[in-house]
């Protein structure tokens, strides 16, 4: 596959990092095309755990070029922390390239994210509070600061100044509003860490300090800054394999996910073109990654959620805590209505199913095959209307499941019949072959299935 996209098929955290790492063996360039450090990949290599938020999972292959594409929003302090962490562990990051057109998450974006969530109260989205939404909003408003701006202190200062003014105003208003609400509710103290108070200038919002700090970030990042779209074209035109790696997942897509409980970018395959700067015909293959069950972090509809012992068990066995925020993930049965939607939306060719081992010993396994609306209507496809989705109840097919531990299986034939039938049912229902199965956290714990 000269141009291949890897996307999450559910609500994120499907284990895309491991799948990308495995597929990266066949690629020369790996490109992240959207999202920011709201994402988190964990890769276990020879018992060593590596956690990434921004750097593409392929970085562990020293000879591959890893690209942070123009569609990514990046927090330079976080990126430099990640680069330093990898260097300390002996990982060569010389092949990391960062698009000069990628947008920067600035300190005021992080403050606004938190302030916005606090203001929404019970209606909050449950964002990762990393400044993702406010940064993409500035990009659309044409108030963004881009990676290339780090290289020119004068331009940088002008851009920060233009972006900063409305933020200071917005943060002041939010702060006043919140204090008023607290007062009305009879609450006393203001939490000091959240938002700039109106009368005390927040040091994080000082134009001079921010500019100086970012000029320094620029010096450190300069060797990595590049025209990454051209880099992709050159590789593709020479017939080399380029993998475009999505963060988050289909149901968190800004346009096609469960809006407003979504992220602020487009994690679907089509967005790889925009976020990396290639054309649709550069994409030859689309891989979707789905967990053998379902999880979601943050608020929003999740029809197959299990708030019982089975859900708890999945969470414990699957170590379902967010890589970025540490929040426990909500767990539930595999939702094939949602998965079929994701398959079509991304026009997936192939599925990778991860964490199948987590389901061993759970008992009979359920998979949602349709929903029923509050009015009793049968819904075979994923409803586009939020109110319908919110009140839809799933209807399940029950499959026998399996009790054997499968962490040592390395071929489909090694899997117990119950596990194979489970995979077969999923594949047939959504109409896409399952070609890779994860049976444990280590990269060796994977089964390739020839179709
Ligand atoms: P934001 O992307 O931080 O704005 O958060 C918006 C929504 O996307 C929230 O529900 C987050 O929990 C969710 N989200 C963002 N990144 C990830 C991820 O990498 N995995 C799972 N959920 C995520």
Give the Å distances, CA to CA, from 278 to 23, 70, 227, 229, 346.
Answer: 20, 11, 12, 7, 16
Query: Of ligand 1's atoms, which has the minimum distance to the CA of residue 300?
Result: 10
Lowest mean pLDDT among 81-95, 165-179, 382-396: 165-179
pLDDT tens for each residue of 296-315? 998 999 999 999 999 999 99
Long-range contacts of 403-412 (CB under 8 A, 24+ apart): 403/360, 403/361, 404/360, 405/357, 405/360, 406/356, 406/357, 406/360, 406/439, 407/357, 407/439, 407/440, 407/445, 408/439, 409/439, 409/447, 410/444, 410/446, 410/447, 411/447, 412/437, 412/447, 412/449
Q: What is the pLDDT of residue 40?
A: 85
Q: What is the pLDDT of residue 187?
A: 66
Q: Distance, CA 127 to ligand 1 centroid (Å)?
A: 6
Protein residue with least CA distance to atom 21, ligand 1: 12
Residue written as token pair 């586009």: 384
Give the Å distances, CA to CA, from 55 to 16, 101, 422.
Answer: 13, 16, 34
Protein residue with least CA distance to atom 9, ligand 1: 127
Q: Of the residues 9, 134, 263, 266, which should be mutated to test ligand 1's pocket, given the most ligand atoms within 8 Å of the CB?
A: 263
Q: What is the pLDDT of residue 61?
A: 87
Residue written as token pair 């071929």: 411
Lowest mean pLDDT among 45-54, 212-221, 440-449: 45-54
Q: Distance, CA 12 to ligand 1 centroid (Å)?
A: 8
Q: Distance, CA 256 to ligand 1 centroid (Å)?
A: 15
pLDDT tens for each residue of 330-355? 999 999 999 999 999 999 999 999 99
Q: Is the pLDDT of residue 201 over 80?
A: no
Single out the residue of 220, 196, 188, 177 nearest to residue 82, CA to CA.
Answer: 220
Q: Is the pLDDT of residue 1 over 80?
A: no
Average pLDDT over residues 282-297: 97
Sequence-ordered list of residues with C-beta below 8 angstroms from that of 100, at least 6 positions apart, any chain: 146, 147, 148, 225, 226, 227, 228
Q: Is the pLDDT of residue 260 over 80?
A: yes
pLDDT tens for each residue of 109-156? 999 999 999 989 989 999 999 999 999 999 999 999 999 999 999 999
Single out the residue of 363, 336, 141, 345 nearest to residue 256, CA to CA.
Answer: 345
Q: Of the residues 13, 17, 124, 127, which should be mutated to test ligand 1's pocket, given the most ligand atoms within 8 Å of the CB?
A: 127
d(CA 191, CA 405): 48
Higher pLDDT, 330 or 57: 330
Q: Is the pLDDT of residue 185 over 80?
A: no
Ligand 1 lining (C-beta closer than 6 Å): 12-13, 38-40, 125-128, 130, 132-133, 247-248, 252, 261, 263-264, 297-298
Higher pLDDT, 250 or 184: 250
Q: Of the residues 250, 257, 258, 297, which should be mutated to test ligand 1's pocket, given the most ligand atoms within 8 Å of the CB?
A: 297
Average per-residue pLDDT in the chain? Answer: 93
Q: What percent of the chain has pLDDT over 90?
A: 80
Average pLDDT over residues 213-229: 98
Q: Distance, CA 274 to ligand 1 centroid (Å)?
A: 20
Residue 193: pLDDT band with limits 50, 70, 90:
very low
Residue 197: pLDDT band with limits 50, 70, 90:
very low
d(CA 14, CA 8): 6
Q: Distance, CA 30 to ligand 1 centroid (Å)?
A: 22
Q: Which residues are designated catalytic?
A: 13, 41
């Amino acid at each position: 596959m000269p141009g291949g996209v890897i996307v999450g098929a559910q609500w994120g955290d499907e284990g895309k990092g491991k799948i990308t790492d495995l597929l990266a063996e066949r690629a020369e360039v790996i490109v992240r095309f959207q999202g920011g450090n709201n994402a988190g990949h964990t890769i276990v290599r020879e018992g060593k755990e590596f956690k990434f938020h921004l750097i593409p999972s392929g970085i562990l292959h020293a000879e591959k070029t890893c690209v942070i594409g123009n569609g990514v929003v990046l927090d330079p302090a976080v990126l430099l922390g990640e680069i330093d962490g990898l260097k300390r562990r002996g990982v060569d990051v010389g092949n990391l390239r960062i698009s000069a057109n990628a947008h920067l998450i600035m300190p005021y974006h992080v403050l606004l994210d938190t302030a916005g969530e606090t203001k929404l109260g019970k209606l909050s989205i449950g964002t990762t509070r990393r400044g993702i939404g406010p940064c993409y909003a500035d990009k659309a408003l044409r108030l963004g600061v881009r990676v290339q701006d780090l290289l020119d202190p004068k331009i940088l200062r002008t851009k920060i100044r233009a972006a900063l003014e409305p933020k200071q105003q917005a943060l002041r208003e939010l702060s006043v509003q919140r204090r008023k609400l607290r007062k009305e509710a009879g609450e006393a103290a203001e939490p000091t860490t959240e938002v700039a108070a109106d009368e005390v200038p927040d040091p994080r919002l000082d134009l001079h300090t921010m500019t100086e700090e970012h000029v320094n970030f620029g010096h450190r990042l300069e060797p990595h800054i590049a025209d990454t779209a051209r880099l992709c074209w050159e590789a593709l035109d020479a017939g080399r394999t380029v993998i475009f790696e999505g963060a988050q997942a289909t149901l968190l897509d800004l346009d096609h996910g469960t809006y407003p409980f979504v992220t602020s970018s487009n994690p679907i395959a089509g967005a790889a073109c925009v976020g990396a700067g290639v054309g649709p015909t550069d994409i030859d293959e689309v891989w979707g990654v789905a967990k053998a069950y379902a999880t979601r972090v943050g608020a929003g509809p999740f029809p197959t959620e299990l708030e019982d012992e089975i859900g708890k068990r999945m969470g414990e066995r699957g170590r379902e805590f967010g890589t970025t925020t540490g929040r426990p993930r909500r767990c539930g049965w595999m939702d094939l209505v949602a998965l079929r939607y994701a398959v079509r939306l991304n026009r997936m060719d192939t599925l990778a199913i991860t964490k199948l081992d987590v389901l061993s010993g759970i008992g009979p396994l359920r998979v949602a095959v349709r929903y029923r609306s509050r009015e009793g209507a049968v819904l075979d496809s994923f409803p586009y209307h939020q109110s319908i989705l919110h009140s839809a109840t799933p209807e399940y097919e029950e499959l026998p499941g399996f009790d054997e531990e499968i962490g040592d299986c390395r071929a489909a034939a090694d899997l117990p019949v119950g596990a194979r039938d489970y995979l077969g049912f999923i594949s047939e229902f959504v109409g896409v072959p399952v070609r890779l199965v994860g049976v444990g956290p280590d990269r060796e714990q994977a089964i390739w299935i020839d179709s």
